[in-house]
Amino acid sequence: MARTLLLEIGCEELPTSFVRGALAQLPSLAREELARHRIAHGEIRALGTPRRLTLIVEQVDEAIASQTEALLGPPESAAKDKDGKWTKAAEGFAKKNGLAMEALSIADTDKGRYLRAERTLAGGDAREKLGEVLATACAKVSFEKSMRWADIESAFGRPVQWLLALFGADVIDFEFVRVRAGRATYGHRFLAPERFELTSADEYVGALRDKKVLVDPKERLDVQREALVAAAKDNGGTLVDNAFLDEEVLGLVEWPYVVVGRFEEAFLSLPDELIETVMSFHQRYFAARSADGKLLPLFITTVNTALDPDRIRKGNERVMRARLNDARFFVEKDRSEPLSARGPRLAGIVYHQKLGTYADKVLRVEALSADCAKVFGAEASLCTEAARLCKCDLVALTVGEFPELQGYVGRDLARNDGLDATVCEAIAEHYLPRGAEDSVALSKLGAALAVADRVDTLAGFFAIGQKPSGGGDPFGLRRAALGVLRTLLHHEARVSLTALISAALGHYSGEKFAALDRAQVQRDLVSFLRERLEVALSQRFGVDVVRACLETQGEDCDPFDVFERAQALHSLRGNPQLGLAAKCIERATNISKDVLTSESASSLVEWLRTHSFALDEERALQRVVLDVESQVAGAVANRDYRGAVSAIADGLTAPLDQFFTKVFVMDEDLAKRDARLRLLKLVTLTSGSVCRFDMLTDSKR
């Protein structure tokens, strides 16, 4: 018979990140411990609020079945001596596994003859082991920072107040941090604070709901979201989506209750990003916008109690008003000085000890931005102007108080100075994407500046030997590389990464970089960007497709060209001829890879046009290869990669397959062998101008 296993760890309020981390760990910890004790079970899920961490395991078997397992020890050569007697290694194996020497034998395996034994693991009552399972799971939960209290040696995220542990209707008796498990729990701290007992594990979620606790985070999020959207609508607006706040606030409440507060419309003269930052990151409030997209002078907050909401609203309004007054002071002070006047002060901010100050970085980005402007079709003079100003807001008072507003503050100050609108926008956009979920810079000017800034960062840190290693990436170079690639792909910008990096490295001069091996740094950085591109595109097209297309680039890389090839190839994965073409081209590539290495496709075409073959299969392939080579060359020149792949798959497959069926390539007659190899070499070069078909593993299955 199977029952539900329930564990609830009741504690003082945990921070959101602690709850999130613990709920991610609990299922795997329980699964590991149940497996160690051979207890069969069904689905495992973790629920929780700031005040409780819950583990629910469905369909846990009451009985542990007996089990016989085969054990393999050392090879016979180590288990027996020359006289055929058991060695110390065999005796150690027996002792380790609790076996008598008589239970040992030698058995034949796929790897040879090895020491073997069988051990029977006794069954039993699962209830006798569940206390140990739960105690161990509790002890293994880790937190960013743990606490110890009283004279208890064990640590936890916050002091534990109670433990609830049920197996069906039975209490699982165990102790953790001097708290003994029982069948009692508590409702909402304010709305239903009384202690109450459960009769069975299956009633847990519903019983807590009756006590004003939504223990299931998904249910709590749905209720919270519905209340927030309704509150915004009731006040004439639409809720501003904020994934950070959704999760952050969810970890602060057990029963979401929405309170709406207001602030003076005069504060709307501040930049929207500043107001929303004060709301979101500093106060955990949601914003709302009107139908025409304008920010409304109100905030919406989720609180943990419906008691006296008017007092909560007034308190929140008072705090919000104070924060906005501070923000207005900083903004007005910053607006009193032109943005460009701050430039000289960047010389006082160290960017990196080996890479100089932010003033040095600005000079490099300004020089590189002219090259990037060409890539994106932006106006070079405006791009260099934006580059010269893009870091000036780092010394602004507003950024000192709200560092997450870098770029947005610069845009506001540039607008205040009456600068070109595209320059203002580029100053804000050059930080995009700030994270994996962010949009890239949408304007050409912003994109050019964003790429120039990141490529300079990458080139600089690679030049001083600060490449990411393993899981370490203290300077965010992987994120910077992905930002470059995402921006290039979004804008369909065509550029050689080698040329772009070479231009960036060219701005690292002087005595400090005199000994720099620029060629090696360039190769390392191009390889690093190629790896990031492979990872990014593989999620969409498959790793074999992306690698096959990357191979056409040599050591260099044009990211958008790789994207176009991969997109074309991926779109034709359903073509039945593609798999056979991949197999045939792989064979042609393997046979001809070490011959005619200096021959070009054009020279082979000229030779094949005048050569006469004896066999029908040779002549058929000759005609098709010459025709397909012409089609593919034209398609590749026009970047019609879908047409090129189709021409190869539909045109080459059948005659190439017939050729391999009827013709022996490596004929003893060297003239025949050479002619056939030339024919196959042109197949390889023609197909290789599109992608490496022989690397399409999925297509060949």
Identify the architecture of domain 573-700 in CATH: Orthogonal Bundle (1.10)
Question: Please, where in the chain does CATH 3.30.70.1510 lie?
Answer: 2-64+125-210
Short-list 491, 496, 484, 567, CA closest to 532: 484
Tell me the residue ranges of DSSP E strands in 12-87: 44-49, 52-61, 63-64, 67-75
- The predicted model scores a pTM of 0.79
Short-list 164, 163, 145, 146, CA closest to 155: 146
484 compared with 247, residue with greater pLDDT: 484
CATH no., domain 2-64+125-210: 3.30.70.1510
d(CA 427, CA 445): 9
pLDDT for position 699: 53
Spatial contact of 74 and 90, defined as CB atoms under 8 Å apart: yes
Contacts of 336 (CB under 8 A, 6+ apart): none
Spatial contact of 485 and 533, defined as CB atoms under 8 Å apart: yes
The pLDDT tens digits of the residues spanning 636-672 come to 999 999 999 999 988 888 888 888 888 898 888 888 8
pLDDT for position 580: 83
The pLDDT tens digits of the residues spanning 424-445 come to 999 999 999 998 888 999 999 9
525 is written with which tokens?
Answer: 């950085």
d(CA 354, CA 631): 53
d(CA 306, CA 259): 9
105 compared with 336, residue with greater pLDDT: 336
Question: Please, where in the chain does CATH 1.10.730 lie?
Answer: 573-700
User: Among positive and negative, which fits the CA dihedral 71, 74, 75, 76?
Assistant: negative
Widest Cα–Cα separation across the chain: 99
What band does 287 get if pLDDT is binned at 50, 70 and 90? very high
Query: To the nearest 10°, the Cα dihedral for 182, 187, 192, 194?
Result: 10
Short-list 412, 517, 495, 398, CA closest to 451: 495
66 compared with 59, residue with greater pLDDT: 59
Query: Beta strands 63-64 and 124-125: pairing type?
Result: antiparallel
Spatial contact of 116 and 73, defined as CB atoms under 8 Å apart: yes
Q: Provide the 8-state DSSP code for 32.
A: H
Within 10 Å of residue 173's Cβ, how many Cβ atoms?
12
d(CA 571, CA 336): 56
The pLDDT of residue 701 is above 70 = no
* Range of lowest pLDDT (37-51, 184-198, 377-391, 683-697): 683-697
The pLDDT of residue 531 is above 60 = yes
pLDDT for position 232: 95
The pLDDT tens digits of the residues spanning 597-626 come to 777 888 888 888 888 888 888 899 889 989
